[in-house]
Homo-oligomer: A and B are copies of this chain.
Amino acid sequence: MLEAVDLGPLGAEDVEVAVEYCGLCHSDLSALDNNWGISQYPAILGHEVTGRVTAIGPNAKGLKLGQRVGVGWNSGSCMHCHQCMSGSHHLCPEVQTTIFGHRGGFATHIRSHWAWAIPLPEKLDFVEAGPLLCGGVTVFAPLAMHANPNSRVGIIGIGGLGHMAVKFAAAYGCEVTAFTSNESKFDEAKGFGANHVVSSRDSAAIGKLGGRFDLLISTVNVALDWNAMIGTLAPNGRLHIVGAVLEPIPVTAFSLIFGQHSVSGSPSGSPVAMGTMLDFASRHHIAPQTEHFPMSRINDALARLASGKARYRIVLDADFRTA
């Protein structure tokens, strides 16, 4: 529904950004359907924004009018807690998400604290960059924390997040194995840079990978044979969860103890992680594979996403302007 919303006076530390493109993330759908039980309506969704700074609060730092920036999963944090002061603003207890209790990017303009409006590198592909701001940093951050070019990495689920994870891991210099339940994606996963592709439903094939992976990044939101997956970890290996699977993961103590394994998770990334990711994407020419819809056809885009057929990430192009 298109309507005019008064965002009120611009916060002293905030900036306003004219939206040029905004990625459509599966978590927008989860918010729309209140799958996580935390939605607030009415809402403006959309949290993979790229655009230009159109207004700057008097206390905002480091940005210029007209500068190209991106706004992702978060659009504010307290800036003075231990986490913010340590550079882990994304773990701030008061972190402000962009679409829960804040007006998001499916709009002409979005507001953000200056720290969360991330400058985009000049050479980045602006048209395709939107999905990097949430999905991209969500899969890049685990690589930055837990992988190096010698790592053997498995990416579980080759969708909106997973296909970017394969591209990032390949560019990181890792040996990359893609796990997908969809055989029609096998060749595409190799095209994204996967060295190997394995069916996530083929327990026998997974069983043969025992002790192989230093890092598994799970992007799926459905339950898998988690013990089989943990069984593919090398000594000291880690299963890292970024997909919002709702059923608990049953982790056995022995599967952690004997191989010195970890099961972990992380939410998007800090402003510095986002900047590092954007620089890496720019230098390595990494862009999501997208389908574009004009923002006026957002309902068609939502239906396409819900169908599970989008390959691989949807970007909405701003096609309306209000005063």
Instruction: State the A residues within 8 Å of B (CB).
Output: 36, 83, 88, 90-91, 93, 211, 235-236, 238, 241-246, 248-267
Contacts and interface: CB of A to CB of B under 8 A. Distances in A.
Contact of A253 (B249, B257, B261): B249
Contact of A265 (B93, B260, B264): B260
Contact of A244 (B235, B251, B253): B253
B263 A264 contact: yes
Given A241-B257, A249-B250, A257-B267, 14 more contacts: A83-B235, A91-B259, A91-B260, A243-B253, A244-B253, A246-B253, A248-B250, A248-B252, A249-B253, A253-B265, A255-B265, A261-B264, A263-B263, A263-B264
28 contacts: A83-B235, A88-B235, A88-B260, A90-B260, A91-B235, A93-B235, A241-B256, A243-B253, A244-B253, A246-B253, A248-B252, A249-B250, A249-B252, A249-B253, A250-B250, A250-B251, A251-B251, A253-B265, A256-B263, A256-B265, A256-B266, A257-B267, A258-B265, A260-B264, A260-B265, A260-B266, A262-B264, A263-B263
A18 B193 CA distance: 57
A182 to B, nearest CB: 21
Nearest to A254: B244
Contacts of A261: 264-265
B260 A263 contact: no
Contacts of A243: 253
Given A248-B251, A251-B251, A257 B236 contact: no
Contacts of A248: 250-252
Q: In the complex, which of the residues A36, A256, A259, A265 has the most CB atoms of chain B within 10 Å of its own CB atom?
A: A265
Nearest to A257: B265
Q: In the complex, which of the residues A93, A235, A242, A255 has the most CB atoms of chain B within 10 Å of its own CB atom?
A: A235
A212 to B, nearest CB: 12
Contact of A211 (B93, B236, B252): B93
